[in-house]
Amino acid sequence: MKIVAIIGARPQFIKHFPFELACKDKVELITIHTGQHYDDNMSEVFFTQLKMSTPNYTLHVGSGAHGEQTGKMMIEIEKIINRATPDGVVIYGDTNSTLAGALVASKLHIPIFHIEAGLRSFNKKMPEEVNRVLTDHISDLLFVPSAIAVQNLKSEGIEQGVFEVGDIMKDLVQYVTKNNLLSNHTPKEKNYYYTTIHRPYNTDNKDRLGYILDVLNHLDKKVIFSLHPRTKNLAASYRLNLDDYSNINFIEPQSYFSNLGYLQGSEGLITDSGGMQKEAFWLKKKCVTIRKETEWKETLIDDANILLFDNLSTLQDEIKKTPKSWNDTLYGDGNSASKMVGGILQFLN
């Protein structure tokens, strides 16, 4: 069987690696990298250290307005799929690359297999929410990480082709920890909180970003802040002097291994990322999410993860609270990719 897989953003590299491993000797896998986001740090880890195959096609679409970016992707993806004539198309998550691939495959009547389906933040101001809802409604197989995701789909009338297989990102975290791949990526720093902030509702307003930085600057431990290029550029445009925040150590965006290394060595995570909420849980690190909602509601059980947004005055207290317990089976057993490949082959046969 011949499958086209479409990746385009940092989290999709993470999801694609375990899927590629599971496809070996079972499926002919053709990978399209849209170039929606490109990070040499990220690519270097997957292509050299983990030996992930170089994508068969790289589109170099780059950034741009949502419609422009998605349209450019669709034009190029359609050309490739028409040449490759695959038996199915795999898409990951909720980016513009996800939606572009799903729309093209749907128009060409090619089966769509959505990995990480069924998630809902119920906030349609987030472009990711629109992408994932539309994609789920035109997918043939929907691989979901949890019972809540199954219920989300059921409430929208989607019950056929839904498979609860766990989270494919857990496959990679287990692979990395079992093979001791973080040993060379443990930071020298001790006794710190790790932070990543990049979403528009936290960065697109000077007062909001300044407020978050001020709260972080007054925490009881040093803060190591992995500074997303978007956040860095906006801070500069607001004329916020990062040197004024003496308790915050701003560092460049980290590779996958280094990012996990900083998280593993921390006293807790403060983030607005989606995937890092899960990674913190699996590494048993307390997480405070600077958002009003999360797609990963299961991480909120027993206070392993806490949502804070409007009033951050309790951040210090929340980050120090010890979770009541850790569920080692959350989001599967680390074999999600194999279950997905098995499901795809069964469907196609």
- What pLDDT, in 10s, does the model give residues 197-239? 999 999 999 999 999 999 999 999 999 999 988 899 999 999 9
pLDDT at 244: 97
Q: Per-residue confidence at 141, pLDDT binned at 50, 70, 90?
A: very high
- Per-residue pLDDT averaged across 261-274, rounded? 96
CATH of the domain at 215: 3.40.50.2000
pLDDT at 62: 75
Six-digit token pair at 99?
Answer: 């939606």
- Domain-embedded: residue 186: no
- The percent of residues in the chain predicted with pLDDT above 90, rounded, is 81
- Per-residue pLDDT averaged across 40-50, rounded? 69
pLDDT at 276: 95
Check pLDDT > 70 for residue 311: yes
Same domain, 14 and 103: yes
Q: Give the predicted TM-score (pTM) of the model.
A: 0.88
Same domain, 228 and 264: yes
- Domain-embedded: residue 209: yes
Same domain, 198 and 291: yes
- Domain-embedded: residue 185: no
- Domain-embedded: residue 252: yes
According to DSSP, residue 140 is labeled S
Instruction: Answer for the pair 144, 117: CB distance below 8 angstroms, yes or no.
Output: yes
Same domain, 196 and 261: yes
- Domain-embedded: residue 175: no
Q: Per-residue confidence at 60, pLDDT binned at 50, 70, 90?
A: confident
Same domain, 208 and 123: no
Separation of alpha carbons 292 and 274, rounded Å: 12
- Domain-embedded: residue 62: yes
Same domain, 128 and 153: yes
Q: Which of 100, 82, 81 is nearest to 91 (CA)?
A: 100
- The percent of residues in the chain predicted with pLDDT above 70, rounded, is 98
Same domain, 229 and 280: yes
- Domain-embedded: residue 216: yes
pLDDT at 230: 87
Residues recognised as catalytic: 198
Check pLDDT > 80 for residue 84: yes
Same domain, 23 and 135: yes
Separation of alpha carbons 183 and 257, rounded Å: 9
pLDDT at 181: 86
Same domain, 340 and 316: no
| pLDDT-wise least confident of 41-55, 124-138, 208-222, 264-278 | 41-55
From the CB of residue 15, how many other CB atoms can be counted at a distance below 10 Å?
24
Check pLDDT > 60 for residue 66: yes
Same domain, 248 and 341: no
Q: Per-residue confidence at 137, pLDDT binned at 50, 70, 90?
A: very high
Q: Per-residue confidence at 44, pLDDT binned at 50, 70, 90?
A: low
Check pLDDT > 80 for residue 42: no
- Residues near 148 by Cβ (< 8 Å), separated by ≥ 6? 118, 297, 298
Q: The tokens 């170039």 sit on which residue?
A: 35
Same domain, 163 and 200: no
Q: What is the residue-averaged pLDDT of the chain?
A: 93
| pLDDT-wise least confident of 61-65, 95-99, 278-282, 293-297 | 61-65
Greater model confidence, 158 or 11 = 158
Host domain of residue 9? 2-167+332-348
- Domain-embedded: residue 98: yes
Instruction: Answer for the pair 136, 142: CB distance below 8 angstroms, yes or no.
Output: yes
Give how many domains the chain has, as a whole number: 2
Q: Per-residue confidence at 39, pLDDT binned at 50, 70, 90?
A: low
- Per-residue pLDDT averaged across 34-52, rounded? 72
Same domain, 120 and 256: no
